[in-house]
Amino acid sequence: MEIVVASGKGGTGKTFLASNLAILINERLDGAVAADADVEAPDLVLAMGGEKKLLRSREIWESMKASIDYKLCNRCLKCVDVCMFDAIRLVDGEPRIIEEFCEGCGACAHVCPANAISFRRTRTGRIYSVETVAGVKTTTGDLEIGGRNTGDLVYLVREEAKEIARGDHVKNIVIDSAPGIGCPVISSLSGADLLIIVVEPTSQSLKGAKRLLKVAESFKMKVTYVANKFDLNEDFLKTIDSELGLECVGKIPYDSEVPSSYSMMKPIAIHGMDTRAGKALKEVFENLRSWIT
């Protein structure tokens, strides 16, 4: 089963929940592999106590980028007009490719009457799998700085995590999604079984959760939510409940042990189950059992 932890808004506690759930499922249910799908800011391994052993690593060179041969280019500028991504700009009478925006779709090459446009492969990023100190094998995607193709990289991360899970006869994969609702998030949700939305008791976080829910509705998946740092604004919980219309699998209080657990790289699920956050986490885990199995 693929379980996605996501949130719409950033900083609500996705990585906190994903890391600790993965540890609990791994230890107390039938095992888990984790996947860090926040390829622009991958932190999941850190949250699981860091890397114990590198299992595998590979570079991904799948991003196609257009380039113009100016000896052939006749400056007709058809390519500038056809590009849907504003990736070709007119500079001093010449078309200029802005690589960071190029999707490599090939539209420019199709309209170029001079055959002046060709494509080359560039680095998309890296995918690597490690055994974490917490014992959960984790696959991470790390996007090339300033890159695109986040969705492609997330897809590959999930494939590698599945491969590891199959090899180890492990049933569950916990995916730590990127914030937002865009390409990497859609790529995390597509084909997954369960979405856990992490919501803080703020209007900004609720807005993100609702937008995420709208995206999730286009996929056939079960959806639930966790209210994180709920005691910061308890009055707001009713609003969250009625506006999301989802079953809540738990409420986690604000607890300074959580940032401490990161700084000391000692996950709550291992070293802090007696803290306020730890006890709440256990409850979330118990409530989730029926969703997972």
**Secondary-structure percent of the chain, ordered helix, strand, coil, rounded to 5:** 40, 30, 35
Q: Which C-beta is closer to another protein: that of 15 or that of 139? A: 15
How far apart are the C-alpha atoms of 123 and 238, rounded to whole Å? 46
In the complex with another protein, the residue whose CB is nearer, 64 or 77, is 64
Using CB under 8 A as the criterion, what x/- string covers residues 44-63 for binding another protein? Answer: --xx----------------
Q: Out of 55, 77, 202, 241, name the contact with another protein by CB under 8 A.
A: 202
Q: Half-sphere exposure of 292 toward its Cβ, with a 13 Å CA cutoff?
A: 25
Pick 64 or 73: Cβ nearer another protein: 64
Q: What minimum distance in Å lies between the beta carbon of 155 and another protein?
A: 11
Task: Report the residue from 70, 182, 247, 274 that binds another protein according to the rule CB under 8 A.
Answer: 182
For residues 123 and 60, the answer to whether their CB atoms sit within 8 Å is yes
Amino acid at 182: G
CA 79 to chain centre: 33
In this complex, which beta carbon is closest to another protein, that of residue 95 or of residue 104?
Answer: 104
Closer residue to another protein, CB minimum distance, 19 or 172 = 19
Of 95, 141, 180, 267, which lies in the binding site for another protein, with binding defined by CB under 8 A?
A: 180
Per-residue x/- mask for another protein, residues 122 to 161, rule CB under 8 A? ---------------------x-xxxx-xx----------
Question: Which positions from 240 through 259 interact with another protein, judged by CB under 8 A?
Answer: 256-259
Q: Which of 207, 247, 274, 293 binds another protein (CB under 8 A)?
A: 207
Q: Are strands 222-228 and 194-199 parallel, antiparallel or unpaired?
A: parallel
**CB-hemisphere CA count at 13 Å for 110?**
7
- Check residue 183 for interaction with another protein (CB under 8 A): yes
Question: What's the CA angle centered on 188, arms 281 and 216, to 5 degrees?
Answer: 80
Residue numbers 80-119 binding another protein by CB under 8 A: 82, 84-86, 100-101, 103-107, 110-111
Residue of 141, 208, 250, 267 that binds another protein (CB under 8 A)? 208
How many residues at the interface with another protein, by CB under 8 A? 66
| Strand arrangement, sheet containing 222-228 | 51-60, 125-132, 137-143, 32-37, 172-177, 2-6, 194-199, 222-228, 248-252
What region does 86 belong to: left with phi over 0, alpha with psi -120 to 50, or beta?
A: left
Q: Please, which residues have CB within 8 angstroms of residue 270's CB and are 6 or more apart in sequence? A: 23, 49, 134
What residues line the site for another protein (CB under 8 A)?
7-12, 15, 40-41, 43, 46-47, 64, 82, 84-86, 100-101, 103-107, 110-111, 143, 145-148, 150-151, 178-183, 185-186, 190, 201-204, 207-208, 211-212, 214-215, 218, 232-233, 236, 256-265
